[in-house]
Structure 1
Amino acid sequence: MWVDVAFNLPLREPLTYRVEGEVPVGVRVRAPVRGRVLTGYVVGVRGNPPSGVAPEDLKPVEKVLDEEPLFDGRVLSLAQWMSSYYLCGLGEALSAMIPGGRVQREAPVPYDEPAAYRRHRLSPAQREAVEAVVSCTHPMFYLWGVTGSGKTEVYLTVAEHMLERGKGVLYLVPEIALTRQVVETIRARFGQDVAVLHSRLTASQRLAEWRRIVRGEVRFVIGARSAVFAPIGDLGLIVLDEEHESSYKSGATPRYHARQVAMHRARTEGALLLMGSATPSLEAYHLMHTGRLPFFHLPERVAGGEPPRIEIVSLKDHPGPLSKPLLREIERTKKEGKQTILFLNRRGFAHYVGCRACGFEMTCRHCSLPLTYHRAEEVMVCHYCGYRTRPIDVCPSCGSVDVRYSGPGTEQVEKQLRETFPFYRIARLDTDTARKKGVLERVLEEMESGQVDVLLGTQMIAKGFNFPRLGLVGVVLADTGLHMPDFRAAERVFSLLVQVAGRAGRFMPGGRVVIQTYLPDHPGIVCAREHDLRRFYEEELAVRKETLFPPFSRLVRLVFRGRDERKVERDAGGFASLLSADLPEGVELLGPAPCPMERIAGNYRYHLFLRSSSLAPMHDLLARTLPLFRPSSGVHLEVDVDPVQVV
């Protein structure tokens, strides 16, 4: 017997092997590839070897890893589509979809008995939204609701309808941190037969959950990005919560977007894709307002809270990191018996360490980026490659002792908070603290129970959480990200401000937001203060239309990286020449040029873009051109279809 095996390698076709006995499609095997033994996926079974190949020339499979298949024809078909759409190998697609883990003794996901679920009575607007969704004949529907408008209850009611009809439900959230609250709610309502898939589980726990789904033991699956591949039988509903979030886009090959995969599954499996957000992506907003995406708008909060009062504080007049107006509001909030969240999307203590005398700046030796000072560990860290070195007291360039540490991070803000409010209960949640086991869950529980007065954190606390006692949200620096050379920079900052402001006053009147900024007149900040989403979207769409960026075009980004800059530049130029020689009408080639972040982890980076009104001609061009290109030794090519970041 012969089997075709796909590996997690950039190979166009699977490789064929000899195997003893019956081996079905869908199991994993260990087999030799180019002097190594790798795990691969059986994607085909043959009665005879490939034409023109002698049986003795085919290597044998060393070991079959699974007693029963991990995937069926539906999953394989989805992987084949991903391979074609994202221009990657079939094995690379399957590897992104199917969890690894040990073959035996798969560890189950710990299950805590949830508190009793209290069903909320739907408001008239929520009932109308549910009716609109369940009667929708289009494969997609959008629920656009302000923060606190009860979108989750609409999702769960629609899910209930689907489960009653015997259909499966897939519920996606963008952040692992959000999974806990949503899982508790869903399990309390629908019982224990809910599978959880996210990267905080061990590999064996993920595999155990995957097998439960394959066997049909559960019909409700919840998880972050990769859960979009869950092999649910008779899928009826996919919920994509916080549709606008960039974390739905994978940063490694295959660079898939969960929204795009969900759209494909909805079309091919006859399911409904229900997306929702308080701040839709510009692409979704454009589709809604050109009649191509049915939607329902929830303009009011269901818990009775009012939109918060938002104050802009110019850091030009009130130097930070915590201005006097913000400190006054924190003190006032505590006296009222309420809680504060402070948001700053920068961890560490300081983001600039340099010499006032000669202008020297401490940068990573492997990246073209500044190092961040972490005071607790007394170390300088690169947040891109992990390089670490000691901080300086004397400038290594000129010998001056006039060394400046500036650009506050969460550590520095925490220090000022504890010095200013020594008797307040203060907690910090960022990547540094949340990586310690149990810290994330403990801090969130303490925040929910009122044991924390001020919670300081990065993006992980900016959306999705409901804290009943929360009265004040402070944005320590709203400008983070606005200076990035990325056409989506303004959209990201606007969305983040609206989302983080939406945490305040959800269950009580009088919620307040203080936004500190050096750019008080920036359109994204002004529109966020005025809760004027339509104005921001229309103005931003006008800019995108004029510059021919999405949603008025489609993009494919090609990044060349390697340690030898001359080779990288030469390969980028060579590939651009190949494309130029065969460029179809209506397809534009931009570049090549150095990436804005020119060097990361010792690798120089150049990129180029293809731009067109549709993806098909760019796909065809790359399908013809990629097999003709052989990168230089040490140079790697990354293909990113529909990129969400261009740095």
Structure 2
Amino acid sequence: MDNFLQVVFNIPVKATYTYKNLEDNPGKVGYRVEAMLGRRKLIGFVTKTTNVEPTEFKANPILRVVDKEPLFNSILLELANWVADFTMCSVGEALGAMLPGGKREKGLPASSIEEIPDPKDITLSTEQEVAITAILNDKNPIFYLFGITGSGKTEVFLQAAKEVLNRGESVIYLVPEISLTHQVVDTLKSRFTQGVAVLHSHLTPSQRLTEWRRIQSGEAPLIIGARSAIFAPCDKLGLIIIDEEHENSYKSSNTPRYSARQVAMKRARLQGSKLVLGSATPSVESWKLMDDGKIKRLNLTKRLSGGAMPKSTIVDMRHEDGVLSKTLIKKIEEAYNQGRQTILFLNRRGFSYFFHCNSCGYEMVCKNCSVSLTYHKNKNRMVCHYCGYQAYPISVCPECNSLDIGSTGFGVEHIEEEVGKIFPSLNIKRLDSDVLNQKNSKTLLKDTLNDFKNKKIDILLGTQMVARGLNFPGVKLVGIIMADTGLKMPDFRAAERSFGLIVQVSGRAGRYAPDGEVVIQTFMPQNRTINLAAKSDINSFYTSELEDRKLLEFPPYTRMIRLVFRSKRLGEMLKVIDSFEKELTRGIDNSTEILGPSECPISVIAGSYRHQILIRTTNLNSAHSVTYSLLQRSKIPAYIYIEVDVDPISLL
């Protein structure tokens, strides 16, 4: 037994603390221990043991050992060190994010894995067989399964996983921002004789720990889960699958701000495992890696269930009166008369999103954030979607006492009301996070999807929840209510996100019959992104988007580090940022450019002012080193918090 332990804590301090070990129940590397840090009693992680007694201070003993066996093996400890270095956080914070019961993942209880057929009913296409053979036998370490919606990507993933499991190796299967429904987990368990573990944010800490131990023991070699499942503690890791690789939810929005895709690449190298990414709409970075030959592309070009890519119609809403165009109303009627179903999509919650006075222009905004409040009619509340602040709608303008006030713009609640008025005899259901925040959300979701599958619902409308993973034979029509919503965001990825969303939601139509239709409503009918998405012209979009990115020197042609400074004390914060930027500028070379400091597009959230510095570089190692070093030695006041984001996916 070593007499001393080196311990890190899940705190933003990049330090290792030395404690005296216990003789009767000693701690070891990979264990959690409880210890006093100053006056606080904290749980820490043992990263090293030693017999060398510190000379400059007397080491206090730990209070107790939490675990009976280690939680982290050498691979995970090495991965934690890499995550900490890359994201510029402490090793303790990285281990805290790995641990079951660590930071909560954003997500809803829905499944992105499409309905999985019984293996006896499966006939693989030639393209699927080629893809499976390549994944299992090629020497390439990384593959991208690029296929149109409905082309059978999931079956390729599952067949490859089955072979890897049969070899006695483990498989990590990542799905975006969700906890899987029992139905899908049960289906997967029926497909595989090997044990299945599920890691996601809706498990209790004890449930997560139970799954963690099942994985460690080898009892559950197939691990399914959201972002943090990439840290599952399997020794013999043969395959990592990342479904819907383009999804933003694979990037953590809390410290450490890691990307599951980047961690997967690092882990695959550490353990010599294969990595398979997949999507119908890859991220621009992945597309560039495919073009450059750094990732091997595997193509799936055909729909397998008798369907074809839907016919799309763009409707210019500048010449329409209501929220539903005459074209869309007519198509909904036609689908209903044929005994078919419709999905309506709008990427905006609530009833309306802009409450203002028509006399003086007063706008009802959040008292804590620099954003408009959204009106939720079913609650009769104005709600901030950033901090959760709520207020009652006003009836008199507080600025000019005018009674001429009202709301502009519309959310999915408003669409629900309008569709109900136009089609009073049709059964309409709304599916969004507001609906699923209720206590019975899992039952409600399951019942809604079963009813839709059984054609008890004529029109299903919702936000991003209906954009992916829904695979129903009865759907003929998809209506996209406002296709240009995301294009107005002040972010260089706005076109990429909008294109992906339109293509993904359009892919819900015509999966089983070649007569699917999509109506795309927009106030920007000439917009290139919308037109290419309507034609599902993937190649042209990525070619033009990469040309724009190269011209503007944005990723993937450069790398970025985003530093967001947050504080309730604006004046003092601005002085600190100014000093920090000057010091940063002195340290960089010609490969790096500093943009800012400037206000973030959303300049106040939850009462804290937000300003940012963007570091754009063609030499990430150099820029990273300079930034990391400056952050380490800068004496930032406690009332200022800095968010560090390497390779940010959003600049809002």
TM-score per shorter chain, which class?
over 0.9
Confirm or deny that 1:23 pairs with 2:27.
yes
Could you tell me which residue of structure 2 aligns to residue 62 of structure 1? 63
Could you tell me which residue of structure 2 aligns to residue 38 of structure 1? 42
Secondary structure of the residue that 2:518 maps to in structure 1? Answer: strand
Secondary structure of the residue that 1:463 maps to in structure 2? Answer: coil
Query: Matches of residues 84-233 of structure 1 in structure 2 within 5 Å?
Result: 84-100=85-101, 117-176=119-178, 182-191=184-193, 193-233=195-235
User: In 2, distance between residues paired with 1:294 and 1:179?
Assistant: 32
Query: Once the two structures are superposed, what CA deviation does each residue of 1:221-267 show, in whole Å capped at 9, x if it has no partner?
Result: 01111111111121010011111111110000000000000000111
Confirm or deny that 1:448 pairs with 2:453.
yes
Cα RMSD for the two superposed structures: 1.7
Give how far 1:179 is off: 5.8
Could you tell me which residue of structure 2 aligns to residue 237 of structure 1? 239
Could you tell me which residue of structure 1 aligns to residue 597 of structure 2? 592
User: In 2, distance between residues paired with 1:261 and 1:181?
Assistant: 29
Confirm or deny that 1:640 pairs with 2:645.
yes
Mapped contact 2:483–2:520 kept (Cα < 8 A):
yes
User: In 1, distance between residues paired with 2:317 and 2:120?
Assistant: 44
Confirm or deny that 1:259 pairs with 2:261.
yes
Could you tell me which residue of structure 1 aligns to residue 497 of structure 2? 492
Mapped contact 1:568–1:605 kept (Cα < 8 A):
no
From 610, 622, 626, give the equivalent of 1:621. 626
Confirm or deny that 1:531 pairs with 2:533.
no
Deviates more, 1:253-262 or 1:618-627: 618-627
Query: Once the two structures are superposed, what CA deviation does each residue of 1:413-460 show, in whole Å capped at 9, x if it has no partner?
Result: 111122222232221111111122322222222222322211111112
Could you tell me which residue of structure 1 aligns to residue 8 of structure 2? 6
Moved over 6 A (4+): none
Q: Any stretches of 5+ residues in structure 1 without a counterpart? A: 102-113
Confirm or deny that 1:472 pairs with 2:477.
yes
Could you tell me which residue of structure 2 aligns to residue 545 of structure 1? 550
Q: Any stretches of 5+ residues in structure 2 without a counterpart? A: 103-115
Mapped contact 1:179–1:223 kept (Cα < 8 A):
no
Could you tell me which residue of structure 2 aligns to residue 422 of structure 1? 424
Secondary structure of the residue that 1:581 maps to in structure 2? Answer: helix
Query: Once the two structures are superposed, what CA deviation does each residue of 1:331-366 show, in whole Å capped at 9, x if it has no partner?
Result: 221221112111111111110000010000000011
| Aligned length, in residue pairs | 632
Deviates more, 1:68-77 or 1:556-565: 68-77
Give how far 1:378 is off: 0.9
User: In 2, distance between residues paired with 1:630 and 1:440?
Assistant: 49
Give how far 1:182 is off: 4.7
Query: Once the two structures are superposed, what CA deviation does each residue of 1:277-304 show, in whole Å capped at 9, x if it has no partner?
Result: 1111111111111222211111111112
User: In 2, distance between residues paired with 1:423 and 1:193?
Assistant: 47
Mapped contact 1:177–1:440 kept (Cα < 8 A):
no
Amino acid at match of 1:81: W
Give how far 1:580 is off: 1.2
From 274, 277, 284, give the equivalent of 2:276. 274
User: In 2, distance between residues paired with 1:177 and 1:454?
Assistant: 25
User: In 1, distance between residues paired with 2:426 and 2:303?
Assistant: 30
| Structure 1 residues 413 and 177: CA distance shift in structure 2, 3 A | farther
User: In 2, distance between residues paired with 1:614 and 1:118?
Assistant: 52
Give how far 1:503 is off: 0.8
User: In 2, distance between residues paired with 1:332 and 1:450?
Assistant: 16
Q: Between the two proteins, what is the percent identity of the paired residues?
A: 47
Give how far 1:538 is off: 0.8
Give how far 1:201 is off: 2.0
Mapped contact 1:560–1:607 kept (Cα < 8 A):
yes
Query: Once the two structures are superposed, what CA deviation does each residue of 1:391-424 show, in whole Å capped at 9, x if it has no partner?
Result: 1111111111111212111111111122222232
Could you tell me which residue of structure 2 aligns to residue 405 of structure 1? 407
Mapped contact 1:355–1:403 kept (Cα < 8 A):
yes
TM-score normalised by length of structure 1: 0.95
Secondary structure of the residue that 1:256 maps to in structure 2? Answer: coil
Could you tell me which residue of structure 2 aligns to residue 554 of structure 1? 559
User: In 1, distance between residues paired with 2:183 and 2:127?
Assistant: 24
Could you tell me which residue of structure 2 aligns to residue 631 of structure 1? 636
Give how far 1:620 is off: 1.4
Mapped contact 1:115–1:188 kept (Cα < 8 A):
no
Mapped contact 2:165–2:194 kept (Cα < 8 A):
no
User: In 2, distance between residues paired with 1:418 and 1:8?
Assistant: 51
From 514, 520, 524, give the equivalent of 1:519. 524
User: In 2, distance between residues paired with 1:541 and 1:503?
Assistant: 27
Amino acid at match of 1:423: S
Query: Once the two structures are superposed, what CA deviation does each residue of 1:370-392 show, in whole Å capped at 9, x if it has no partner?
Result: 00011111111100001111111
User: In 1, distance between residues paired with 2:194 and 2:341?
Assistant: 33
Amino acid at match of 2:405: V
From 599, 607, 611, give the equivalent of 1:602. 607
Could you tell me which residue of structure 1 aligns to residue 113 of structure 2? none
User: In 2, distance between residues paired with 1:378 and 1:41?
Assistant: 47
Mapped contact 2:145–2:278 kept (Cα < 8 A):
yes
Give how far 1:66 is off: 1.8
Query: Matches of residues 297-446 of structure 1 in structure 2 within 5 Å?
Result: 297-436=299-438, 437=440, 438=442, 439-446=444-451
Deviates more, 1:198-207 or 1:283-292: 198-207
Mapped contact 1:343–1:474 kept (Cα < 8 A):
yes
Give how far 1:115 is off: 9.3
Mapped contact 1:236–1:271 kept (Cα < 8 A):
yes
TM-score normalised by length of structure 2: 0.94
Secondary structure of the residue that 2:123 maps to in structure 1? Answer: coil
Give how far 1:209 is off: 0.9
Amino acid at match of 2:454: S
Could you tell me which residue of structure 2 aligns to residue 286 of structure 1? 288
Give how far 1:49 is off: 2.9
Amino acid at match of 1:86: T
